[in-house]
Amino acid sequence: MNIEHTYANYVDDKSAAEIQALEKETGTRIMAYATPSVAAELSSEQLKKIEKLERKLCVRLVSYKTH
């Protein structure tokens, strides 16, 4: 993933790397939003990991399946 900092300047390189690591672990794409969104269908364990990272980064993360 290549973070476009013009549009997402609140996510630094370290934060982007953490999101990418979670993407690899869950096999999904995860997007950071500043506003609330609807979560994808994930296991309870996967959802807890996403929520933990949301709290750490102070963002909303949305996960969706890749094609």
Each residue's pLDDT tens digit, 48-65: 999 999 999 998 887 877
- Please tell me the pTM assigned to this model: 0.51
Q: Is residue 8 part of a domain?
A: no
In a domain, 40, yes or no: yes
Give φ, ψ of 2 to 5 degrees.
Answer: -115, 110
| Residue 44 resides in a domain | yes
From residue 37, give the alpha-carbon distance in Å to each of 13, 60, 62: 23, 7, 7
Predicted confidence band at 67 (pLDDT cuts at 50, 70, 90)? very low
| Better-predicted residue by pLDDT, 59 or 4 | 59
Per DSSP, what are the bridge partners of residue 61? 32
Residue 32 placed within a domain: yes
Give the count of domains, the chain: 1
Q: What is the pLDDT of residue 16?
A: 87
The model's confidence at residue 39, banded by pLDDT at 50, 70 and 90, is low
| Whole-number pLDDT of residue 28 | 93
Distance of alpha carbon 58 from alpha carbon 67, whole angstroms: 28
Residue 1 lies in a domain: no
55 occurs within a structural domain: yes
Domain interval for residue 25: 13-65
User: Which amino acid is present at 48?
Assistant: K
